[in-house]
Amino acid sequence: MGQLNLPASGVVYLDTAPIIYSIEKHADYWVLMRPLWEASQAGQIVIASSELSLLETLVGPLKSGDHNLAADYERLLTATELRLLPVTASILKDAARLRAQTNLKTPDAIHAATALASGSAQFITNDVAFKRVPNLPVVILKEVASASTPS
């Protein structure tokens, strides 16, 4: 299994899936995500995501009636170690342009526009569609997980 190569400093943007992997301690991805959270707690990097992540993470637990899991998401997404960035009119205009250029789904275009506006040093996701966004420093977790660690 590979490992995330984190930037020495700056903003690391999380798409919704990595947030889910972190909260639910996903077997394949939690080991990759843990150093990210540790670097954030040490003040080396800032972890950010869009306010849209709050909506996206809560849907599953609310559908299944898992109020404890919903509360876990809310705690993480309102904690100081994760900065939720607002969905502004400017972000929505940029997202519309990205959607027109790359054919991303609307939520994905909002995430990409938010990450670009924040000057993110890294964009962590598991969705290869984000690779179509120019100047977005995309890291695909499944690619990292399948990479061999050099001996």
- 59-70: pLDDT as tens digits: 999 999 999 999
Based on the structure, what is the number of domains in the chain? 1
Under the banding of pLDDT at 50, 70 and 90, the label for residue 2 is confident
The pLDDT of residue 18: 96
Per-residue pLDDT tens over the stretch 111-122: 999 999 999 999
Radius of gyration of the chain (CA): 15
pTM over the 0.85 mark: yes
The rounded distance, in Å, linking the Cα atoms of 80 and 55 is 18
Domain containing 25 — which CATH number? 3.40.50.1010
Residue 144 in contact with residue 2, Cβ under 8 Å? yes
149 part of a folded domain:
no
Give the range of the structural domain holding residue 57, as residue numbers without chain letter.
11-142
The pLDDT of residue 12: 97
